[in-house]
Structure 1
């Protein structure tokens, strides 16, 4: 599992010198509005406030965000997502073309595209600030079906790795679609990576709905506190607490996935990599004060996926 260099050292956070492998990501695709509020803290607000700050609208969602970063590492990147049918639909397709990702989008006739709003307030003491994320409550991705995934089986079979995330588990419909995707991948020898989000998934679903997705994965990304809470354990922030979680993973989750457990002051500074039967390896992610937080997790995941497929 271990290599002499951690992922942030090789291939690095800015892309790979040689693009290799094929990645297919299943997840959300939609429109997001982002803004950072340089002179406002949410905790200080007691009345309506007008703020002028840098704001932008972009094509985003878990699948698009990862694909955008993965395009700097992988020879081929594809996005399998269910989207709406409105004026944003051609915008989403155009963005996939721009980043060089294969379009495996499924359009739900008459449905609006999902829209999210992300606001980050002024940080306290040099931290990243508090993020408020408001997401369309029933985006099209929650209605991706198992037959629709089966119809896209060729794209899964042609990939070296299939990446999915926990937002697909939130709906029974898309959860069944994820089950079908994992089944197809296993039959084809395509590896499966799973990102355990949202970070409060433990408050949204019982562990029994989430653990099967972890058991089917060959690699799991997770903030260590999220995984610990899901398993009914105290949320760790230090390496010793994360290491204490490893026997629990061995007991609760079958198989031998590679766990990439993120932890630290903001659950992003360090990773403990662990696979059953092998000693854990700890490394720094490269995140520190002054590094742009938005999108860093997807940069890191793309880097780690390439590292893993290369023998890391």
Structure 2
């Protein structure tokens, strides 16, 4: 497999700060929650041996995989729809107002009598040249895990109108939301809508058997992931060099060929912190290899979403 290092890439155009002209329509199916974010600014988690009190900026935001992606997509896509399920409590109007203020269409189903989902994200101080550690704790039964096939089909028109549907692996973690997400994919594919799948969580191999993941990969047109995530799913050593990351791609194809003859576009992240570079690959051919612009020490939160929406815009502009 030859190497095709890009002289022109999505990072150069449209770039990571928005496109010169918003185009295309995007539908996103995923988590919607209230997230509390802060950092352990003065040390790493490994340095803690006892109780510790730290001071750092802390905030509560409307978040979740669907909202996080939509927030970064508004500079690229002319219309964005978020499809999901939320709870019924004082945070519900805050969530709806947030989407309205972003200019995002709200196709959220409300589950009466249950609270909204909550998560806490805490990052530690990264070591020199390293990525640091993100501690993410979520509620055990958020409403998003109960997004049903019937819920999704009520938004079929939005899925059929979209140029691209974006889904992620967190929906696979519950049988209910897994069925809902796969229903969204079926509606989209029947309408000719491009399907993009974010292969997360990064420890998905510890949470689900490969056979539960393969059917969704088989239905996707674009799959975004990181080299260690793929290595874990394929029960292979985590690659430490670029050549090792490249070798994962044919292995992915061989594994996927067990369930489909389709050839998705793989966007595989790799590097010192698994975010520095992208390999764009389709069956037996490395299409592009490019730097994402990420460097250790840069703000990691949201960078992957910025990168994903710029890449989707770039590829849609080429077809």
**Is TM-score (shorter-chain normalized) higher than 0.5?**
yes
Matched, 1:166 2:169: yes
Out of 102, 112, 118, the residue aligned to residue 115 of structure 2 is: 112
TM-score, length basis structure 1: 0.97
Matched, 1:76 2:79: yes
Matched, 1:85 2:92: no
Change over 3 Å in CA distance of 1:51–1:4 after alignment to 2:
closer
Matched, 1:211 2:214: yes
**1:244 aligns to what?**
247
Query: 1 CA distance for matches of 2:207 and 2:74?
Result: 32
SS of aligned partner of 1:21: strand
Out of 287, 303, 318, the residue aligned to residue 296 of structure 1 is: 303
Matched, 1:276 2:283: yes
Matched, 1:264 2:267: no
Task: List runs of 5+ in structure 1 lacking aligned partners.
Answer: none
Out of 221, 234, 240, the residue aligned to residue 237 of structure 2 is: 234
Out of 300, 307, 311, the residue aligned to residue 314 of structure 2 is: 307
Change over 3 Å in CA distance of 1:232–1:290 after alignment to 2:
closer
**1:27 aligns to what?**
30
Query: 1 CA distance for matches of 2:97 and 2:20?
Result: 26
Tell me which moved more, 243-252 or 207-216.
243-252
**2:142 aligns to what?**
139
TM-score, length basis structure 2: 0.94
How many angstroms does 1:78 deviate by? 0.8
Matched, 1:97 2:100: yes
Matched, 1:54 2:57: yes
How many angstroms does 1:52 deviate by? 1.2
SS of aligned partner of 1:279: strand
Matched, 1:11 2:18: no
How many angstroms does 1:136 deviate by? 1.1
Q: Deviations over 1:231-274 (max 9, x none)?
A: 22222132211211122122111311000000001100001100
How many angstroms does 1:206 deviate by? 0.2
SS of aligned partner of 1:310: helix
Change over 3 Å in CA distance of 1:3–1:187 after alignment to 2:
farther
Q: Deviations over 1:73-126 (max 9, x none)?
A: 000011001011111101111110111110001100011111110111122225
Query: 1 CA distance for matches of 2:161 and 2:204?
Result: 30
Query: 2 CA distance for matches of 1:274 and 1:153?
Result: 30
Query: 1 CA distance for matches of 2:71 and 2:109?
Result: 19
How many angstroms does 1:155 deviate by? 0.7
How many angstroms does 1:292 deviate by? 1.3
How many angstroms does 1:3 deviate by? 7.6
Say how many residue pairs are matched: 312
Q: Is the 8 A contact 1:144 1:174 kept in 2?
A: yes
Q: Is the 8 A contact 1:237 1:267 kept in 2?
A: no
Matched, 1:224 2:227: yes
Q: Deviations over 1:135-181 (max 9, x none)?
A: 11111111000111111100100100000000000111111111111
Change over 3 Å in CA distance of 1:12–1:249 after alignment to 2:
same
How many angstroms does 1:53 deviate by? 0.9
Query: 2 CA distance for matches of 1:40 and 1:212?
Result: 42
Q: Is the 8 A contact 1:225 1:237 kept in 2?
A: no
The runs of at least 4 aligned residues of structure 1 exceeding 4 Å deviation read 1-4
Q: CA RMSD in A?
A: 1.5
